[in-house]
Amino acid sequence: MGTMAPKRILTALADLLWVPRCTACDNFVSLAGGDSICAAFCSVCIESLVPTGSPRCPICGLTFDGVGKDHVCGHCLADRPAFSSSYAPFLYGGAVKQAILRFKYRPAPWLSTQLGRLLFSQDGVLATPDVVMPVPSHPSRLRQRGFNQSALLARYAAAACRVPLDTNTLRSTRETMQQAGLNRAQRLRHLRGAFAADSTPRLADARVLLVDDVVTTTATVRAAAQALVEAGARRVDVLSLARAP
């Protein structure tokens, strides 16, 4: 009988010792469902998830109460964003909100794989991109947190779409204050011109998938998409884990 290689022994031990835990509450996770949602949340937290659905704005992804057909919201009618569409599989609340907050502020960058799988856990309509880019963090915030959560999610999205990941073309040009507590108009004013993009051959006439963790008023992704379009992108679509209702 041959001996087991040390690397294989360590892998086998890791498989035995590792127990998947809920990204929101740390309870044990049952993988009986076999999908990305069951891999990310325990049975209790799954009950708090609210998938996005119709009726919603086909541009910014804002959901509407009641039933009916998708239609463009008042914000997009009055001030159409530079991005073509924005999609998120879940509404921002419950376990998804707790998981995102833990991911960003705990911080817990190792949750990126479980959360990255959630980006494609529902049947969203997204144009096939040429390149995936994250919403960038300012260098000062990157030094403080140690990682850009959107970049970790974008890495998973790029692999899933089988297209390149670009973390250099789009950049944050100034440090912005925390957006919590600001209303929509204040956020839009504060983030205007907060991003810049280089006019590179990769970006020229490209279809860009812009990835963020959560979209609230769309102020951040509006500013980032505007920079990309001005630098030559043909189309920008936004993908996030959650959309504020």
**Tens of pLDDT along 44-73?**
999 999 999 999 999 999 999 988 999 999
Minimum mean pLDDT range among 11-20, 21-30, 115-124, 224-233: 11-20
Number of Cβ atoms within 10 Å of the Cβ of 127: 13
Q: What is the pTM of this model?
A: 0.87
Contact 222, 191 (CB under 8 A): yes
What is the crossing angle of helices 184-191 and 219-230, to 10°?
A: 30
Confidence at residue 28, expressed as pLDDT on a 0 to 100 scale: 87
Angstrom distance (rounded) from CA 39 to CA 120? 13
Q: Which pLDDT value is given to residue 114?
A: 92
Over 70: is that where the pLDDT of 14 sits? no
pLDDT in tens, 176-194: 656 666 666 767 676 777 8
Tokens coding 28: 């044990």
What are 111-137's pLDDT values in tens digits? 999 999 999 988 776 778 999 999 998
Instruction: Give the torsion sign (CA, 172, 191, 221, 95).
Output: positive
Under the banding of pLDDT at 50, 70 and 90, the label for residue 107 is confident
Higher pLDDT residue, 191 or 209?
A: 209
pLDDT of 7 over the 70 cut: no
Q: How many Cβ atoms sit within 10 Å of the Cβ of residue 176?
A: 18
Find the mean pLDDT for residues 152-163.
95
Across the chain, mean pLDDT equals: 87
| pLDDT at position 11 | 44
Question: If DSSP codes are grouped into helix, strand and coil, which group holds residue 208?
Answer: strand
**Residue 100's pLDDT band (boundaries 50, 70, 90)?**
very high
pLDDT of residue 239: 97
Domains of the chain: residue spans and CATH: 48-243 (3.40.50)
pLDDT at residue number 33: 58
- The answer to whether the CB of 27 falls within 8 A of the CB of 42 is yes
Q: What integer is the mean pLDDT of 71-84? A: 96
Phi and psi for 155 in degrees, rounded to 5?
A: -60, -45
Closest listed residue to residue 115, CA positions, set 93, 129, 96, 142 = 96
Check if the beta carbon of residue 133 is closer than 8 Å to that of residue 154: yes
- 216-228 mean pLDDT: 95
pLDDT value of position 191: 76
